[in-house]
Amino acid sequence: MSNVDRREFLKLVGAGGVGVGAGFMLAESAKHPLEHLIPYAVPPEEFSSGVATWYNSVCGMCPAGCGISVRTREGRAKKIEGNPSHPVSQGRLCALGQAGLQVLYNPDRLSSPLLLDGASGSFRPATWVEGVDKVAGALSSARNVVVLSRGIRGHLAQIFERFAGSLSSANLLQYDFAHEDALYVGNRESFGIDRLPYYDIANTRYLVSFGADYLNGWISPVHHSLGFGTSRQGGHDRGYFVQVEPRMSVSGASADRWVPANPGTEGLLALGIAQQIVAMGGYSGADRDAWTSTLAPYDIASVSQRTGVNDDIVRQIAEGFMHTRPGLAITGGAATRHVNGVNTAIAVNTLNYIAGNVGIEGGILFNPAAPLATTGEENRGAYESLANLVTHAENGSIDALLVYDTDPVFTMPADSGFREALEKIPFVASLSSFMDETTAMADVVLPSHTYLESWGDDVPEPGVGFSVGAVSQPVVAPLYNTQAVGDTLIAIAAHMGHSDAIPWASTEECIKDGWRQVHAQGGSGDFDAFWRSLLQAGVYGRNIRDTRAVSLDPTVVAGMDANEPTFSGNAATYPFTLHPYTSMRMHDGRGANLPWMLELPDAMTSVVYSSWVEINPVTAEELGVRQGDVVEISSEHGSVTAPVYVYPAIMPDVVAMPVGQGHSKLGRYAKNRGSNPLSIVAAQTDAKSGSLAWAATRVSVAPTGQRAKLVTMSGESRELGRNIVQTTGGAAGSAGHSAKLNSIPIKVEAV
């Protein structure tokens, strides 16, 4: 060591020091991080750490009203399942329902009241006292107030009604983009019923769906999927499924027969099938002659020519529908969003009526009155009522708008002028839970609890054929400084000096009070026991059915000759029909801020995280575009861009786009992702229902020269000889016994 000089020595000391330090830090980093063990100060009665507590409630993610069971631990919701005793969901749940947790825990949830700071134009957090004071102040001096919300069902609707009643002049308006207005009006005109009937898919043997994607989002997807499974594999004769639509949906892909028909002609086809059935002697009512003459214009040749469906196919469906009992025809989705939407609904009702499917199991069953006194459907407004709101706002006759959990700025077409109208309203307050496009334009935001933190009750719509009501209860304590929407309305009314207008101190009391009445009409035992068991079950039913006999008058159909769909935009400049479609993933756009929904591959294209436009391969070749080429889709009212997805199962003159993305707000996951086809549709309505004809716009498609990487889960949608999709021929059994099967049986029975 004698050759270690001073310099070398210092080096070694340095190296040793660094080593010791590094070793120390290494040991430090290998240690378990400090964790806390925090007990309750006073634990809730049923609490047991480490043991899950389940609560039954109602899904709030779409208006179907499935029953849920939520697993909670240590006061946190962990997993949502279906409530097995709820007749709508029967223990099942759709993906959007599962993602309810991501609404609850969403990092972009509004966590406290916000006030718009006039000078900076941005929001600043405020207290509830400040916020309520501001809203109450603005409402007291307003002459005309509009309370705009999503559809409010159950007793909560009474708080809304009484709140509006306490103001000098207020309109209640409930708007959901996906609400099937045309079906309601169609049912009223055909049968004189106000609620949706029960579509008994489970027991049907022959289903013809005119555009209703009942497996992927249409009105009650969980229940209809269950029904589909039962009809197919329920141990009786297998049901046969026909899907009529210009673009193959999930239901189309699951059907036995997919029939592309010109957009908007679905009703014509239904009447054509009905005409055939009458002609073949399948209808024996006393008014047979009247029907024969009423349906005469829908002879097979003209229907086939107008719908683009081969006459053989029309005949085959007519025969199948007539001879396979029971049968069921349904319609909805884009098919009822044409200018003749109600006519289509009536046409499909007619087909059911002619084929004898009304009021029978496996067909249409009417829903009896709910056990609850109110269903809340009474204040429903179609698109037209929002268009009226625009007119009134523009001429300055609306002073204040209260909006809750509906986002018309996103779902209304730009052409409707809603955004501009909103800017003209002097005072806007939002009670929504997220900073969506509409809330972003508010002056005051008083954020509400999510459905997992609130009290409520519900009458599922469509019902299930007997009398059902359900209760939703908070499954966790509120995460943030938010309030139940009903409590906020009560607080505002009280602040304005109208505390006697709403007789309940809280939403919970209102709901409980409503169920006291239900209990008084035949609940067993004392109310507290009834309430306890009601909350445990989550659902309450009475075996009451609506067996009224209805008849459909031929004059209803005779009066609707203007059946031909019309489109906005001329065919020369805008050669394609835009077919926007909704899905269970995004619903009306509310799924776009939920990462689970974004990363869930679309069921048909397997695209994740973005929007796309589906184009037929032939059309794509004509346009000179390939998969992933970004194209501009333009209507007379604007344009959006999206990458091409080459989709063989779409008519060549139709282009389809999924609804739900293309948000400019709604939080980090939704913002600036994808594009919104609704923004370019024309603001034209179906005159009979006043609903937006969002499937009746023509567009042009032009390449932009750019490319985008479409993230798909399937590398190639064609089979390319890999024999990965095995099918049986159309004529079952004709392949005979000599065909080689690649399947492997579980066991072979000894003969």
Partner 1 sequence: MVLVALAGMVVGYWANAAFFPGTSPQQPIDFSHKVHAGDNEIPCQYCHVQARRSVSAGVPSVNKCMGCHLEVATDRPQVRLLTNYWESGEPVPWIKVHDLPDFVHFTHKRHVAAGIECQTCHGAVESMDVVSREAPVKMGLCLACHRENEVEHGTDCWTCHK
Residue 219 gets which letter from DSSP? S
For partner 1, which is the closer residue by CB, 76 or 707? 76
1 binds partner 1, rule: CB under 8 A = no
505 binds partner 1, rule: CB under 8 A = no
Residue 525: which of ligand SF4, partner 1, none does it interact with, CB under 5 to 8 A by kind?
A: none
For the CB of residue 176, give the shortest distance to ligand SF4 in the complex, in Å.
Answer: 12
For partner 1, which is the closer residue by CB, 26 or 572? 26
Burial class (CB in 10 A: 0-12, 13-18, 19+), 394: middle
User: Which amino acid appears at position 398 of this protein?
Assistant: I
* Nearest C-alpha neighbor of 180 from the set 141, 158, 151: 151
For partner 1, which is the closer residue by CB, 34 or 549? 34
Instruction: Locate 513 and state its tokens.
Output: 């009070």
Residue 39: which of ligand SF4, partner 1, none does it interact with, CB under 5 to 8 A by kind?
A: partner 1
Residue 9: which of partner 1, ligand SF4, none does it interact with, CB under 5 to 8 A by kind?
A: none
Cα separation values, 36 from 32, 33, 39, Å: 12, 10, 10
Burial class (CB in 10 A: 0-12, 13-18, 19+), 139: buried
268 binds ligand SF4, rule: CB under 6 A = no
CA torsion through residues 17, 22, 25, 27, sign: negative
271 binds ligand SF4, rule: CB under 6 A = no
Contact flags string 57-76 toward ligand SF4, x per CB under 6 A: --x-xx-xxx----------
CA torsion through residues 499, 501, 504, 507, sign: negative
Distance CA 630, CA 76 (A): 43
CA torsion through residues 348, 350, 355, 356, sign: positive
27 binds partner 1, rule: CB under 8 A = yes
28 binds partner 1, rule: CB under 8 A = yes
Binding residues with partner 1: total (CB under 8 A):
32
Distance CA 419, CA 546 (A): 43
Cα torsion through 718, 719, 720, 723, rounded to 10 = 180
94 binds ligand SF4, rule: CB under 6 A = yes
Using CB under 6 A, which of the segments 55-63, 368-376, 703-711, 721-729 binds ligand SF4? 55-63
Distance CA 544, CA 174 (A): 29
What three-state secondary structure class fits 656?
strand
Binding residues with ligand SF4: total (CB under 6 A):
13
Residue 719 gets which letter from DSSP? -
Which of 49, 391, 536, 672 lies at the binding interface for partner 1 (CB under 8 A)? 49
At residue 402, what are phi and psi to the nearest 5 degrees? -110, 125
22 binds partner 1, rule: CB under 8 A = yes
533 binds partner 1, rule: CB under 8 A = no
User: Which amino acid appears at position 685 of this protein?
Assistant: T
48 binds partner 1, rule: CB under 8 A = yes
For ligand SF4, which is the closer residue by CB, 65 or 447? 65
Strands across the sheet containing 114-117: 122-125, 114-117, 444-445, 427-430, 400-404, 145-149, 170-174
Which of 1, 3, 45, 51 lies at the binding interface for partner 1 (CB under 8 A)? 51
For the CB of residue 109, give the shortest distance to partner 1 in the complex, in Å.
Answer: 25
For the CB of residue 59, give the shortest distance to ligand SF4 in the complex, in Å.
Answer: 3
Burial class (CB in 10 A: 0-12, 13-18, 19+), 278: buried
- Evaluate whether 108 touches 668 at the Cβ level (below 8 Å): yes
For ligand SF4, which is the closer residue by CB, 214 or 647? 214
For partner 1, which is the closer residue by CB, 43 or 503? 43
- Evaluate whether 399 touches 142 at the Cβ level (below 8 Å): yes
Strands (E), 546-681: 576-581, 613-615, 629-635, 638-646, 654-658
Contact flags string 74-93 toward ligand SF4, x per CB under 6 A: ---------------x---x
Contact flags string 169-208 toward ligand SF4, x per CB under 6 A: ----------------------------------------
Which of 211, 221, 376, 554 lies at the binding interface for ligand SF4 (CB under 6 A)? 221
For the CB of residue 461, give the shortest distance to ligand SF4 in the complex, in Å.
Answer: 10
* Nearest C-alpha neighbor of 109 from the set 600, 401, 448: 448
Beta-strand relationship, 400-404 and 145-149: parallel
Instruction: Locate 145 and state its tokens.
Output: 């107030």
79 binds partner 1, rule: CB under 8 A = no
Which of 20, 505, 562, 713 lies at the binding interface for partner 1 (CB under 8 A)? 20
Using CB under 8 A, which of the segments 10-18, 165-173, 394-402, 570-578 binds partner 1? 10-18
For partner 1, which is the closer residue by CB, 15 or 713? 15
* Nearest C-alpha neighbor of 306 from the set 344, 263, 348: 263
9 binds partner 1, rule: CB under 8 A = no
Contact flags string 137-176 toward ligand SF4, x per CB under 6 A: ----------------------------------------
Distance CA 181, CA 185 (A): 6
45 binds partner 1, rule: CB under 8 A = no
713 binds partner 1, rule: CB under 8 A = no
Beta-strand relationship, 466-472 and 170-174: unpaired
Using CB under 8 A, which of the segments 28-36, 156-164, 448-456, 642-650 binds partner 1? 28-36
* Nearest C-alpha neighbor of 410 from the set 377, 376, 373, 439: 439
Binding site for ligand SF4 (CB under 6 A): 59, 61-62, 64-66, 89, 93-94, 96-97, 221-222
Interface residues with partner 1 (CB under 8 A) are 11-12, 15-28, 31-32, 34-43, 48-51
